[in-house]
Structure 1
Amino acid sequence: MKKLLMTPKSHILFLLFLFSIDAFSQVEEVNPPDYIKTITFKGSTNESQLPILRLGEKLQLEFDALNGNEDDFYYTIEYFNFDWTPTILARPEYLDGFDNQRIRNYENSFNTYQIYSHYKLTIPNESTKRLKISGNYLLSVFDNYGELVFSRKFMVYESLANVGVSIKRSRDVTFVKEKQTVDIIIASNNLQFNNPEKTVKTLLIQNNNLNNTISDLKPMYTLGNQLIYKYGNEASFWGGNEYLYFENKDIRGANSGIRSIELKDLYHNYLYANIIRTTRPYTYNPDINGNFLVTALDAENPDIEADYAWVHFSLLSDKLPDYLSVHIYGNFNNYAIDESTKMIYDDMDQIYRNQMLLKQGFYNYKYVVYDDNTGLVDEGAISGNFYETENDYKVLVYYRDLGARFDRIIGLGGANSVNISN
C-alpha cells in the first residue's frame, strides 16, 4: 500500500481545512456519565435548568458524584456566537478573573443508603470575578485527569430592548387544534437598529428546552424603531400535553404517582402505569413544564440528606416498529435521549418498562418517540398535541451592530400559553 505523501504546502492547507471545520462547528452540550446525577443549573432568580441571567447576576451549578471518591472537579467558561460557533474574542475580553479552577465547595451525604458527594459552584467567586459581556456561554466540568465530564449552556442578557411576547393559536387551520404561535414586538429607546434583518437575531424557546427552539426569524415589519414578528408556521410550536409527574419526598411511603415501594439495596419506587394520551381529550393538569425539584421529608438540608431511589416507569402500549424507540423525557437529565432513558418492551405484559436512579423530589416527565432513521424526537407521539396546553415561552434578542465582533443579548421576553388567544 502506498503512503500518502504531503508537501509542506499541502500540509498547511490541510491544517487550515481542519481549523476551518472547527471554527464553524456548533458546540453541543455533553451529558454526564452514570455516576454524576442531579445536575441543577440556575441563576439567582431563575429556577429553570436553563439559566438565562441578567448581566451581573450570579450563576449556580450543583451536582452529585455517586462513586464515593470525593473526586476533584474543575470548571471552564467559554463564550460563543449566536449560532454556538466559537468566538474570535480572547478570554480576558469576556471574563474578569480566572477559570480552570477546582470546585472547592462539596459535602458528603448524611444518613442515606446511597452515598454521594454534593458539589456546588457559584459564579462570581474569588477566582472568577465576573462575566463582562452578554451572550452565549458554555460551562464545562472536568475531572482530575483533564477529561470532560459534562457541559451546560447558559445565556447572559442586558436590558436594552423591550421584548413583547404573545401566544396565539395557529393561523394554519390544519394545525389550529395542535399548535401555538409566538408573536413578538421588539422596541428599544437605547439602540438604533441598523439593518435589523442582518444585525438582529431571535431565539424562541419552549419550556426552557434547548432541543425545542426556533431561531433567527427576520422582522416582518419595521415601524420606526419597532421590529414586528407575526409569522404563521415559521413561529409555531407543537402544543404538546401537560407533563406527567411523581413525588417521592417520603421515600418510605406512597406519594403522588407512586403505586408501591420496596427496599432492597436501595429503595425502589414503582409508578402507576401510564397510557397513551394522543387520542384522549385534553385535560388540564398543573405541571412545572418538565422541571424537577429536590426535596425530602424531615430533612433540614435535602442537598445531602435526600436519598436516591430506583424509580420504575411503565407505559401501556403496543410495540412500535424497531426503528422507533420510546424514551423518558424531562429536565432531570437535560432532555437527553440515550440508553438510560430507553424503554424496553415486555411482550408478555404488552408494556414498556424502564428504571432510573433519581434523587428524592418532585419530577415532571413525559414519554417521547425517537426515530433512528431521522434522528428526530416526536414529543406528541404518545402524549398528543393540544393548543390548550400550558407552556412557557422565552424570547432572546441578539444584536451585533455593523463592525461588531460578538453577539450581545439585548433583551429577554416571555409569555405563557395559559392566556392563549385567537
Structure 2
Amino acid sequence: MTKIFYKITLLLFFVSSFTFAQAEKEITPPYNIKTVSFIQNEQNIVPIINLGEGFQLQFDDLFGNEANYYYEIIHCDYNWVPSGLPKNEYLEGFDNQRIQNYSNSFNTLQIYSHYKLAIPNQFTLQLKISGNYMIKILDENKEIVFSRKLILVEDLVTVPAQVKRARTANSMDTKQNLEFTIRSKTINFQNPLKNVKVVLLQNGQFNSSIQNVAPQYTIGNELIYKYDTPTQFWAGNEFLYFENKDIRSAANNVAKIDSDTAIYGSRLYTSAARTNFPYSFSQDINGNFVVKNINAFNSEIESDYAWVYFSLSAPTFSLNKDIYVTGMFNNYSLTDEYKMEYNAKKATYEKAILIKQGFTNFQYTVADNKGVIDVENSIDGNFYQTENEYTILVYYREGIDRYDRVVGKGMANSINSTN
C-alpha cells in the first residue's frame, strides 16, 4: 500500500509540474472585444515599458452592457512560463480586482463600453520587478476573456545597435541584419552564455521575434553580436493604411462610404500585391493605429466603428495558405475574423472587418492553417530599403536569481542602415 501511494503521489507531482510548466500564450479576445491597446501619454505603444512607469490597458466591449471585468497579473520567465514567484514579490497590492473605470460610447451608431485598466491603481500599487508579465482580463465568472503580454525593463545596460544590409548573397535585397553590443557599468557578466539572453523584435511584433542568440564573442565586459545570419529579419514592405477620422467622408485610401447601413462602411481601394513591383517608400507608423474622430471632443468614447472592406488583387498568389489582414489594431491575430476570402467573380481576396475609426496601419500576412507565418513569400515582398523599427531586449539571470530580469533594451531603425 505504501509503495502504491508513493507511486501515485510521484505521478501527481510530475503531472502537476508538467501543467505548471506550460508557457503562457496570448488569448485572442472574442468578437465583442475590440481595440485592445496599451496607452502611455495618450498614445498607443508596444507593451515594453520602463519599470516604475505607469500605463493603461484599454479596450471596448461592443455589447455595451457595462459588464464586469476583472484582471490578473502573472509574472513569467524568459520563455513565458510562470516564474512561480509569490505575488507579493512582484506585485505591491492586489490583483483579481474589478475594473472600475469604464464609460459608455456617446453619439455613436455602434454602442460600446470603453474600459481602462490603469497601473498603478488603488488596488495594484506597483509592479515591483522587471521581466515578462501576462495580463489576463476575466469575466464575472473568472474565466479568461483575453490576455496580453507586457514587458517591464530596468535600465542597467546600454545596447548600441545598428541595422545593416544582409551580407549573404541570396538575401542582400530582401533582409536586414541587426548588429549590437551589450554594455554595463553595474553588472559583471559572468558566464554570459548561460546568464544572458536576448529577444529581437521587428516593429514590436512578438510573433516574428528572434530568440536564444548567444554572444558571438566578448571584449572585457562587453558582449558583441555581429552575426551574418542568426540576427537577420526579412525586411518586408511599408505598411498600408487608411484614414476615416471623418467617418462620413472618403479620405486617404478610402474609395467609397456606405451610409445606408446600420453603421457606416469604409470601402478601401483594391490593393495590388507589391512583391513584383519596385520598392516605393511611403510614410507609415510601423503597424500602429490612432483612434480619432475629428468631429468629437473625446475620441475614446465618441469615435464610432465602421465596417472596413479590404480588397486585394494577388493574381500570382498560388500557395495553399491563407491571407490575413493584420496590424496592431488586432494584435496581428491570425483568426477567421481576419482571414480573407477569395472572390472568384472579381478575382480578388476580400474581407470586411469592424474597426474603430481613425488612422490605421495594416498589412497582408500569409500563414498556414497552423498559424505559421510565411514571411519569405509575403504578398507585398521583402525589400532591404524598408523602414523598420527594431528592439533588443536583454534578459539576465545570475545563478542565485529566481527569475529572469529584463535589464535593458536597445533601439535601432533601418532608415540609418549601412551596407
Fold-level match, TM-score > 0.5? yes
2:362 is matched with which residue? 365
Q: Partner of 1:129: helix, strand, or coil?
A: strand
1:62 is matched with which residue? 58
Q: Partner of 2:116: helix, strand, or coil?
A: strand
Query: Unaligned regions of 5+ residues in structure 1, if any?
Result: 1-5
Which digits, 9 at most, give the CA deviation of each residue in 1:222-242, with x for residues without a partner? 111111000111000000000
2:35 is matched with which residue? 38
Q: Partner of 1:377: helix, strand, or coil?
A: coil
Measured in 2, the distance between the counterparts of 1:322 and 1:243 equals: 22
Which of 135, 142, 146 lines up with 1:146 in the alignment?
142
Partner letter of residue 74 of structure 1?
Y
CA, structure 1 residues 44+401, in 2 after alignment: closer, same or farther (shift >3 Å)?
farther
Identity of aligned residues (%): 46
2:104 is matched with which residue? 108
CA, structure 1 residues 43+17, in 2 after alignment: closer, same or farther (shift >3 Å)?
farther
Partner letter of residue 396 of structure 1?
L
1:276 is matched with which residue? 273
Measured in 1, the distance between the counterparts of 2:166 and 2:245 equals: 39
Which of 207, 210, 216 lines up with 2:212 in the alignment?
216
Measured in 2, the distance between the counterparts of 1:137 and 1:216 equals: 19
Measured in 1, the distance between the counterparts of 2:399 and 2:288 equals: 39
Say whether residues 1:181 and 2:198 are aligned partners: no
Deviates more, 1:38-47 or 1:10-19: 38-47
Which digits, 9 at most, give the CA deviation of each residue in 1:52-85, with x for residues without a partner? 1111100211110010211010001110001111
CA contact (8 A) 1:59 1:123 kept: yes
CA contact (8 A) 2:39 2:58 kept: no
Partner letter of residue 249 of structure 1?
K
Say whether residues 1:205 and 2:201 are aligned partners: yes
CA, structure 1 residues 229+322, in 2 after alignment: closer, same or farther (shift >3 Å)?
closer
Q: Partner of 1:198: helix, strand, or coil?
A: helix
1:250 is matched with which residue? 246
CA contact (8 A) 1:136 1:155 kept: yes
Measured in 1, the distance between the counterparts of 2:84 and 2:184 equals: 27
CA contact (8 A) 1:273 1:313 kept: yes
CA contact (8 A) 1:242 1:285 kept: yes
Which digits, 9 at most, give the CA deviation of each residue in 1:85-133, with x for residues without a partner? 1213111010000000110001111111001111111100110000111
CA contact (8 A) 1:268 1:311 kept: yes
Measured in 2, the distance between the counterparts of 1:246 and 1:45 equals: 21
Q: Partner of 1:22: helix, strand, or coil?
A: helix
Displacement of 1:45 in angstroms is 8.8
Which of 226, 229, 240 lines up with 1:233 in the alignment?
229
CA contact (8 A) 1:75 1:141 kept: yes
CA contact (8 A) 1:43 1:52 kept: no
Displacement of 1:173 in angstroms is 1.1
Query: Unaligned regions of 5+ residues in structure 2, if any?
Result: none
Q: Partner of 1:16: helix, strand, or coil?
A: helix
Question: Superposition RMSD on alpha carbons, in Å?
Answer: 1.6
Displacement of 1:359 in angstroms is 0.6
Which digits, 9 at most, give the CA deviation of each residue in 1:126-178, with x for residues without a partner? 10000111111111100111111110001111111111111011121110000
TM-score between both structures, scaled by the size of structure 2? 0.96
Partner letter of residue 140 of structure 1?
K
CA contact (8 A) 1:44 1:58 kept: no
Displacement of 1:273 in angstroms is 0.3
Displacement of 1:297 in angstroms is 1.3
Partner letter of residue 48 of structure 2?
I
2:403 is matched with which residue? 406
Say whether residues 1:386 and 2:395 are aligned partners: no
Say whether residues 1:266 and 2:263 are aligned partners: yes
CA contact (8 A) 2:289 2:328 kept: yes
Measured in 2, the distance between the counterparts of 1:279 and 1:97 equals: 55
Say whether residues 1:159 and 2:155 are aligned partners: yes
Measured in 1, the distance between the counterparts of 2:144 and 2:348 equals: 37
CA contact (8 A) 1:194 1:402 kept: no
1:83 is matched with which residue? 79
1:326 is matched with which residue? 323
Which of 319, 329, 342 lines up with 2:339 in the alignment?
342
Q: Partner of 1:383: helix, strand, or coil?
A: coil
Measured in 1, the distance between the counterparts of 2:33 and 2:409 equals: 32
Partner letter of residue 306 of structure 1?
S
TM-score between both structures, scaled by the size of structure 1? 0.95
Partner letter of residue 357 of structure 1?
L
Q: Partner of 1:395: helix, strand, or coil?
A: strand
Deviates more, 1:38-47 or 1:68-77: 38-47
Measured in 2, the distance between the counterparts of 1:82 and 1:349 equals: 47
Partner letter of residue 228 of structure 2?
G
Displacement of 1:32 in angstroms is 0.4
Measured in 1, the distance between the counterparts of 2:407 and 2:315 equals: 49
Measured in 2, the distance between the counterparts of 1:250 and 1:32 equals: 27
Measured in 2, the distance between the counterparts of 1:242 and 1:34 equals: 28
Q: Partner of 2:379: helix, strand, or coil?
A: helix
Measured in 1, the distance between the counterparts of 2:40 and 2:198 equals: 21
Measured in 2, the distance between the counterparts of 1:100 and 1:132 equals: 17
Measured in 2, the distance between the counterparts of 1:158 and 1:369 equals: 35
